[in-house]
Structures are given as C-alpha cells and as structure tokens.
Amino acid sequence: MTPAKMTSETFAAPLWLRYEGWMGRGIGFLCGALAVFAFAPLHLWPLGLISFALLFLRLVLVGQTNPQFKAGLSTAFWQGLGFFGAGIFWVGSAFIARGPEFIPIMPPAVLALAALLAVFWGLAGGVFIRWRLTGLSAVIAFSAAMMLAELARGHAFGGFPWNLPGYIFEAGSRPSQFASLGNIYGLSWVVLFLSGSVALLFTAKTRLVGAALSGLILAGLYGFGHVRLSDAKTETVPNVNIRLVSVPFSQADKFNAEKSNAIVNQFLTASIAPGAEDVTHVIWPEGAVNGLAMDNAPLLNAMGRDLLSVDNSPPVWIMNSLRSEIMPHPRGGEPITNYYNSSVAVEFDAGGYPAIVAVNDKHRLVPFGEFFPGGKWLESYNFPVFSTALASISAAPEKTLIDIPGLPRVSAQICYEADFPGLTPRDAVRPAQLIINQTNDAWYGKTWGPAQHANIARYRAIEEGLPIVRSASNGLSAMIDPYGQIVTQINMDDAFHIDTVLPKSLDAKMATSLVTFIIALINSLISCIHLFTRRRLGLRRT
C-alpha cells in the first residue's frame, strides 16, 4: 500500500499514482471507470485519453521498482476491470427482463464477463512492464501491446469488440473519419498512442515531445476529418423511400402474450400512417415480433391487408424473425430443430398475399444471449441449457449478401453483427451498396448500452463507405450516411415512424479485414522488436 520509490527516470506523477497493493488496485479500478464517460452517450473523449494515459503511467511507475510480469498483469487487470465493469453494466438489464429467477445470477455473470475482458488488458500490461522502457519507445511499445490485446478481445472466443478506444469519438465527427483509412482498430491505435503522448507531459525530459506529438495527432485527426467531410457527397438512390417504424416497449412485456400483441398492433398502425402510399420499403426492428414470424400467417396476411388498404402497390416489408430447420439427430434419435435469427423480406401481390423473397441468417451470435457455448452438444443429450433466449440459436455458416427487390445489394447485419469490422462480404462483381442493421436494444433498458451500440454501428458506415439503415427497438433508428452522420432519426422514446431517402454508397475501398490484418502485423512486429532488444540487453548485462 506504500508508494513505489522514485528514481531519476520516474515520471513526476502525483503520489497516488504510485501506490501498489489494494490501494493501488482500487485507484486503477477508478481510473478505468473514468474512461467510460468518454464513450457514448457523453463522448467526453479527453477523459478517455486521461484514463489510458494513467494506465501507461502506472505501468511505467510500477515497472521501475517491480518489473515482473505479475505486477504488470495486476496493474492493467484492475484498471481493465474498472473499465469493463462500468462500461458493460447494462448487460444486467437483460437478466432483469427475463424474469425474477434470472436476477440472482446477474451480478456474478456481469462481473465474470468484465473480469474475462480485463484479462486481455492484464496480459498486455504484464508483457509491457517486462520491457522496462521509458520515453517515446515506451509509448510505442505500450500502444502495440494494448492494441494486440484489443485485437485479441475482438476476435477470441467469438469476440467482443465493445468500446474499443477509438469509439471515444462520436461516429460522424471529424476524428472518426480516420476509420475510413484504418478502420476502428487503426483509430484505436492512434488513441492509445495519443494517450501515451499525453503521459509524456509528466516528465521534464519528454514534455516537449509529448506536447508536440499530442498536438500533431489531434491536428491530423481533425484536419483529415474536416477535409473529408467538406467533400461529403449527398446523392441519393432514385425511387427508394424507406419507412422506419419504431415503437418503444419494455422487453419484459414481450413475454406477456397480450402485451406483445398490442405492441405488434402499434407497429402495424405506424406502418400505414399517412404517407405510406409513397413508401417503397417498410422496415421493422429485431424484437418487434416474437418467434417464428415468417411462419405467422395471420400476421403476414394482416400486414398485406393493411398495406393494400393504403395503396394498391404495397411496399416490401423487411422484418426480423426466427427461422426453423429440422435436422436428423446425429445418433439416430429424435430429429433436432435448429433455429436461426434472420432478416426477412416479404413482398405482397395485388391481392395482398405475402411471399418471402429474401432471407439472410445471422452469423455472429451473442454468447450466453443467443446460444450457450457447447449448447447444441448438451441439447443432443437433453441437458437443460441456460440462455437469455428461449431456445439456443444456430449460426449461419458464413455471412452473405442479400438481394431485396427495389434496393441495391444489401449486407444484412442483425444486432450484434454490426459490432464487427469487416463483416460485410466482399464481392468484386456485385458489391454491397447498403447495410441494414436490425437490432433489439430493448434488452438493455434505459442505460447507456443502446447509445454505445448505435455509435459502434455507425462506424461500419465509415469503414465500408456504405449507408446504414438502422432499425432498433428502444434504440437509435436512423438513416446513416457513408460518413457515419445521421441523415434522419427517431428518438427512442417516441412511438413513431420516419420516411427517408437512401444515400448512395462511396467508391469501393481496401477490405476492412485486410486493414485489420495489417494493423495486427505491424504491432506484432513492434512487440517482437522490443522483446528481441530486451533479450539482447539482458544477455549483455550477464
């Protein structure tokens, strides 16, 4: 609990930053929680820079007296625990929505998830502290180690790339435009390097370097973004008029049949509100309808009848539904029913009769939300599986593009899928021109979760150069242009609809997944160079 001893190379940091033991862990936890205010909905991004700079400082200070892997792991882990604990507390709302029997397991489940994510930071801290670097070389190494940790967090065990450092900037803002070159991982690396540069202000030897680097990076981000946005195109796709329907509801009400039907009726009413005769496509969010909606003949017929009452050329209806598929049992038992979370396009003829014209299944599923790891194997033995879904969902083998009548080629990304950079399939012959993101943010109530989710999704528009039609239950429903800017939106508390045109996409760019690979390769090389250099120095000393 005593502060670490100072050396000639020690940063002139406040005394409280040099504490170790449980006092130091508590300080690290609070420093991590501070960063959450930098993300949506507040976007107080300087607090994010300060928080990451404090992590850098604490690792350097601890390393001066205790340069052991365990010390670095502990320092970074506790700050990560504060960051993720405060940043994903909204996950607990999903347990509350499922019912009273799920509430007791909410605290340990949320804490366990935060601890798992904090391990990635801990490993990065443990590696960084062993290098025993100072000055600019420490900033470079810190950025590389933390970037590799964030890349691992975004891909390992299915990935959870939530609140990456780059998301401190609101999508559509000037700094966010850098994601058009380096995607969100590239922007996150810039934020980590910028944070390390800010930390250099705490020592006289590197104060001028820190100030110069911080100023140049911020000027570069804002300058590039200003130039890009000043040249923003405003062309729209002809003959497309999209109606986004939004009805606020509590997720708990969806488990009550009477209340759920009332919610669906509100969606039907909003779909045929004045102006519907000019609409070409009606989009409902995920969660608007329970279960196997594409097999719900009364619902399909009611939608067709209502749309036909407004105009004799009904618009295409894009909804979200579970889809069932019966598969033979691997050991000869009763057939197994697989369920898929799907985006579904329905077309109506002149008589109002429905026809399903396009289906796209979800590829990236939410662990413990839509499936339990190993759940299918357990289900084959009739073992009861806990999940916040009513049934375990199966993942589509791969993500594919979809053709919906009247729209340019679509990449349908359901809920969680929009969190992943590079998920939009690349097709050189017929590339995607639009992303449709249907999501159910009602699971997370009136927390910061829906705002964070919306900001994350908007970055996919910047990376891919594609407009996004985002239809969210109790979240941001909006038309988003290829620069991540909101063209028009519905406030999440309004029972309403908006009719909007569709912006055109930008020219095709380098694949986002390739950019991610390049970022991973560069930071791996930096880490290897530092590791090799340290070993050589160690051999010379011996």
Least confident of 410-414, 487-491, 529-533: 529-533
pLDDT average, residue stretch 81-110:
90
Reference 53, options 40, 34, 69; nearest CA is: 34
Query: Which of 379, 259, 371, 250 minimizes the C-alpha distance to 327?
Result: 379
Q: Which residues neighbour 322 within 8 Å (Cβ) at sequence distance 6 or greater?
A: 291, 292, 293, 339, 340, 341, 342, 391, 393
DSSP codes joined into one string, 186-220: HHHHHHHHHHHHHHGGGSGGGHHHHHHHHHHHHHH
H or E, element range at 397? none
498 phi/psi in degrees, rounded to 5:
-130, 145
Question: What is d(CA 60, CA 69) in angstroms, rounded to the nearest whole number?
Answer: 13
Q: What is the dihedral of CA 400, 456, 169, 113, to 10 degrees?
A: -130
Could you tell me the strand order of the sheet in which 336-348 lies? Answer: 354-361, 336-348, 316-327, 281-283, 242-246, 496-500
Q: How confident is the model at residue 2 (pLDDT cuts 50, 70, 90)?
A: very low
The CATH superfamily holding the domain 242-320+342-362+398-505 is: Carbon-nitrogen hydrolase (3.60.110.10)
pLDDT of amino acid 11:
58
Give the pairing type, strands 468-473 and 434-440: parallel
Taking residue 396's Cβ as centre, other Cβ atoms within 10 Å add up to 16
Q: Which residues pair with 326 in a beta bridge?
A: 337
> Two tokens at 64?
């001066």
Residue 412 clears pLDDT 70, i.e. is over it = yes
Residue 4: pLDDT above 50?
Answer: no
Q: Please give the angle made by the CA atoms of 138, 139 and 145, to the nearest 5 degrees.
A: 85
- Encode pLDDT of 372-389 as tens digits: 655 555 555 554 444 444
Q: Which pLDDT belongs to residue 383?
A: 47
Q: Other CB atoms closer than 10 Å to residue 217's CB: what's the count?
A: 17
Give residue-wise pLDDT tens across range 345-363. 999 998 999 999 999 999 9
Continuous H helices in 353-446? 375-379
Tell me, what's the pLDDT at 541? Answer: 44
- The DSSP output letter for 315 is P
Distance between CA atoms of 109 and 97, rounded to whole angstroms?
15
Segment 67-85 shows an average pLDDT of: 96
In this structure, what are the phi and psi dihedrals at residue 434, rounded to the nearest 5 degrees? -160, 140
Mean pLDDT estimate for the chain: 89
Per-residue pLDDT, 374: 57
Q: Which residues contact 220 (CB under 8 A, 6 or more apart)?
A: none
Write down the pLDDT at residue 13: 64
Q: Is the pLDDT of residue 390 over 60?
A: no
Between the alpha carbon of residue 157 and those of residues 34, 65, 137, 153, the distances in Å are 27, 35, 32, 8
| Residue 532: predicted pLDDT | 76
pLDDT, mean of residues 452-464: 97
| Beta bridge partners of residue 282, listed in sequence order | 243, 317
Give me the mean pLDDT over the 122-141 stretch: 93
Higher pLDDT, 97 or 408: 408
pLDDT for res 157: 85
pLDDT of residue 123 exceeding 70:
yes
Question: From the CB of residue 250, how many other CB atoms can be counted at a distance below 10 Å?
Answer: 15
Q: Quote the percentage of the chain above a pLDDT of 90.
A: 70
Residue 283, helix vs strand vs coil: strand
Helices (H) then strands (E): counts for the chain: 13, 11
Residue 453 reports pLDDT greater than 60: yes
What is residue 482's predicted lDDT score, i.e. its pLDDT?
97
Say which amino acid occupies 38: A
